[in-house]
Amino acid sequence: MKKMTFSNSFHVAPNRIDFSTVFLKFSPLNQAAVMATLIMILLMYALVIVWTRRQDRLDVLKWGVTPLADNFSLDDYFYVIKVITGIRPGAGTRSRVCFVISSAVMDTQVRELSDGVRKEFANGSVLNFLLSTTMCLGDLEYILIWHDNSGGGKHSGWYLSRIEVQDVQRNETFIFQAERWMALEKDDGLLQCVIPVCKTENINQFNQRFIRNAKEMLADSFVALNRTRIYDNLFVCISP
């Protein structure tokens, strides 16, 4: 049996657009509507670009590393200071914060914990600063930190969770665990504290204690919730 093949040579020519006359087919009202729509789309696009650019800058300020305002341009040894504020009501502060980082042989002298841009250690924030010194401080032993209580109102006191200092050149990190208030109306009422460096065993103990406390808090919340449900059910049963 012979195979039959069919073909078609019919070709549809595409419609050509004459751009010199195409807009003449629209009424002035339609042309104005089209132009207004295009302008609105361009304006919305420009606003989105400006907004996203602003958010990028805010992210850099929030998560990036910014140099301390009192760094000297000739200093060529660097540390990254990570400051972690606690997560609890009123933990953040707008007060002026200063510190001294010390080793067994030398210290940084009094430095201000500010980059001149960010004005607040917000609740639950993690801020990173670049500290420059004339030379390596060696193995860090403690940090003395305080504030002047000038934040005003609920922003005066500060709950400091911990500070991590990374020696950039040696790629070594020193952890200073605080977990305390520095506020006149909280705990001991002091605005300063001396925080010794955490050893490895201390960090492990803290992590275990944190996990244990978290479990106990969850268990207490679960018991309290169940007790509330039992009381509600009992009230429903005995109510007329």
Q: What pLDDT does residue 52 have?
A: 75
Q: What pLDDT does residue 187 have?
A: 87
CA distance 198 to 206: 10
> Would you state the structure tokens that stand for residue 44, as one six-digit string?
């919305």
Which helix (H) or strand (E) segment holds residue 232: the answer is: helix 200-238
Side chain identity at residue 156, one-letter code: S
* Region 41-61 average pLDDT: 75
Q: What pLDDT does residue 19 have?
A: 64
Q: Using an 8 Å Cβ cutoff, are 145 and 190 in contact?
A: no
Which residues are CB-contacts of 73 (< 8 A; sequence separation ≥ 6)?
A: none
Q: What is the pTM of this model?
A: 0.63
For domain 65-220, the question of CATH label 2.60.60.20 is answered with yes
* Region 97-117 average pLDDT: 95
Give the percent of the chain with pLDDT over 90.
50
Phi-psi sector, 13: left (phi>0), alpha (psi -120 to 50), beta:
beta
Closest C-alpha among 96, 85, 92, 91 to residue 150:
96
CA distance 195 to 177: 7
Q: Is the confidence at residue 97, as pLDDT, over 50?
A: yes
Q: What are the pLDDT digits (tens) for 137-165?
A: 999 999 999 999 999 888 999 999 999 99
Average pLDDT, the chain: 80
Q: What pLDDT does residue 37 have?
A: 82
* Region 190-213 average pLDDT: 69
Q: Is the confidence at residue 169, as pLDDT, over 90?
A: yes
Q: What are the pLDDT digits (tens) for 110-128?
A: 999 999 988 899 999 999 9
Which comes out higher in pLDDT, residue 207 or 143? 143
For the beta sheet containing 65-67, the strands, ordered from the edge strand earlier in sequence to the opposite edge, are: 65-67, 126-133, 77-85, 158-167, 172-182
The DSSP line for 40-70 is HHHHHHHHHHHHHHHHHHHHHHHHSEEE-TT
Q: Is the confidence at residue 206, as pLDDT, over 60?
A: no
